[in-house]
C-alpha cells in the first residue's frame, strides 16, 4: 500500500495515543465545494509516496506497546478504499479488535452510499465532514480533540 507517513505514537488525533497512517490521495472535495484552496493537508501532496507492505504495517502496529488505537488520516483514506479495507481486514483477521479511527472529509451519507463495506467491521470510529473555513472549532466528545469546522463530528460504528 502507498502512504505518505506512519506516525508510531501520535497524541493529536485522539484522546488516547494512537498510531497514525497518513494516506496518500484525495479528490480535494473541500476545495471544490469552497471554490478555493482550503485544504489544511494539501502540502502532503508534495511529500513522496512510500510503498509499504500492509502486513508489515499491521505487525508494526501490533508490536507497538505504546498504542492500541490505529488512526487512518492524512489526505483521504476513503479515496484509496482497497488499501483501507485491506488494512482493516488484516487487523481483524489477526484478531485485533483495537479501535480504528478514520478521518474523512466525506459526509456520513456519502460513506453510507459509497463505502458501506466499512459497517461490516466493529470498533470503528469515523470523523465525518468536510473542512469549511472560518468556522468556530469545537471539541468532539467521541475523539476528545478539537475539530476545525462545526459540521465535523465523530461517530462510533459497530
Q: Long-range contacts for 128-134 (Cβ within 8 Å, ≥24 apart)?
A: 128/104, 128/152, 128/153, 128/154, 128/155, 129/105, 129/153, 130/29, 130/30, 130/33, 130/105, 130/106, 131/30, 131/38, 131/39, 131/40, 131/105, 132/30, 132/34, 132/38, 133/34, 133/38
> What pLDDT is attached to residue 81?
97
User: Span 4-30, mean pLDDT?
Assistant: 95
pTM here is 0.95
**Is the distance from CB of 102 to CB of 142 less than 8 angstroms?**
no
The chain-wide mean pLDDT, for the chain, equals 94
* pLDDT value at 36 more than 80: no
Domain count, the chain: 1
User: Span 7-17, mean pLDDT?
Assistant: 97
> What pLDDT is attached to residue 145?
97
> What pLDDT is attached to residue 31?
77
> What pLDDT is attached to residue 34?
79
**pLDDT range class, residue 38, cuts 50, 70, 90:** confident
User: Span 141-150, mean pLDDT?
Assistant: 96
Structural domain containing residue 40: 2-157
> What pLDDT is attached to residue 93?
96
Alpha helix segments (H runs only) across 29-100: 29-34, 54-62, 81-93
* pLDDT value at 53 more than 80: yes
> What pLDDT is attached to residue 30?
79
User: Span 50-74, mean pLDDT?
Assistant: 97
Pull the grid cell for residue 36. Answer: 478555493
What end-to-end distance do the CA atoms of the chain give, in Å?
25
> What pLDDT is attached to residue 9?
97
* pLDDT value at 82 more than 90: yes
Amino acid at each position: 500500500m502507498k502512504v505518505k507517513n506512519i506516525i508510531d505514537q501520535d497524541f493529536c488525533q485522539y484522546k488516547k495515543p494512537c498510531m497514525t497512517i497518513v494516506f496518500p490521495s484525495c479528490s480535494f472535495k473541500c476545495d471544490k465545494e469552497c471554490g478555493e484552496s482550503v485544504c489544511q493537508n494539501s502540502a502532503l501532496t508534495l511529500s513522496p509516496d512510500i510503498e509499504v507492505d500492509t502486513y508489515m504495517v499491521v505487525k508494526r502496529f501490533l508490536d507497538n506497546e505504546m498504542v492500541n488505537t490505529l488512526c487512518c488520516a492524512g489526505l483521504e483514506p476513503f479515496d484509496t478504499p482497497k488499501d483501507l479495507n485491506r488494512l482493516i481486514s488484516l487487523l481483524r483477521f489477526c484478531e485485533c479488535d483495537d479501535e480504528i479511527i478514520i478521518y474523512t472529509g466525506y459526509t456520513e451519507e456519502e460513506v453510507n452510499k459509497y463505502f458501506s463495506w466499512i459497517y461490516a467491521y466493529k470498533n470503528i470510529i469515523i470523523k465525518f465532514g468536510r473542512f469549511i473555513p472560518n468556522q468556530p472549532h469545537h471539541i468532539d466528545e467521541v475523539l476528545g480533540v478539537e475539530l476545525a469546522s462545526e459540521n465535523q463530528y465523530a461517530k462510533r460504528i459497530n
